[in-house]
Structure 1
Amino acid sequence: MSIIDISEVKPGSHVTLHYRLSLADGAEVINTFSDKPATLLLGAGQLAPPLEDILLGLKVGHHSTFQLAPGQAFGPRNPELIQRVSLATLRENSMIGEDFSPGDLVEFNAPGGGRYAGVLKEVGETSALFDFNHPLAGQALAFEVKIIGIL
């Protein structure tokens, strides 16, 4: 007599899986299928909550691809998150002199601790323009998952 594992992914589960996240045009963002699988703790912020929600209820061996509408996984793009940062502020954070180019992801110290990041769009004479949206915000995505184990 064999015991069949009927466990399914629940909040707080440790899930070992392969996953691939790609843009609508097929460009891969992340792919664990060609490497070792990932082990994630649901609810720990290792995946965006909408991606974690997709995993809930899946069983070991499940393998499929989910199509996500623009903004579904990482939220819509927020124009208020495109902001100018003065070069004086960048100097105060000792970031002037570092070699940044438009398109670079730059990390900042957040007031009160912690860190946040923005993509540098352009550097002017007195300020730099940053996009603090998640790089995948507003994007249509494909999320392929294969559940290997659940604890």
Structure 2
Amino acid sequence: MTNLATRDAVKALVAALQSDTALGAFTITDRPARPSALPHIRVGPVSEEPWSTGTSNGAKLSVSLALTSRSGSFSLLVDAADAIAALLETPLTITAATSVVQRLTTTRFAHEPSGNLERATLSVALLIDLGDAP
């Protein structure tokens, strides 16, 4: 991530996930889940590309969220995906920028029989306006 605003945007997303009561059962980190830490949301990787409104600079971010839970708890992942989509309806509070658009763009669910795990991969799109001239 190349600028402070991008880091702030990701931190704001993590803070929103951590404070959402609907996600209270989940451990939220940027590291792979340990079996004892399930259910788990891993934040990252994050990709960034320049974005502009024509009057100000910004960034288009794609943040991957990997959700993992024990087998048999598929509905927990579905509910978590719904909760994440709902929390994105409220603009994130970003110190160094303004959130213009934030939404869930893709969601994939899978069952991993060998590890007795349920998985979901979500992609969150964030457009942030830095407020400076291009």
When the two structures are superposed, what TM-score results if normalisation uses the length of structure 2?
0.25
Structure label with greater radius of gyration: 1
Q: Which has the larger strand fraction?
A: 2
Q: Which has the larger helix fraction?
A: 2
RCO comparison, higher one (Cα < 8 Å, 6+): 1
When the two structures are superposed, what TM-score results if normalisation uses the length of structure 1?
0.24
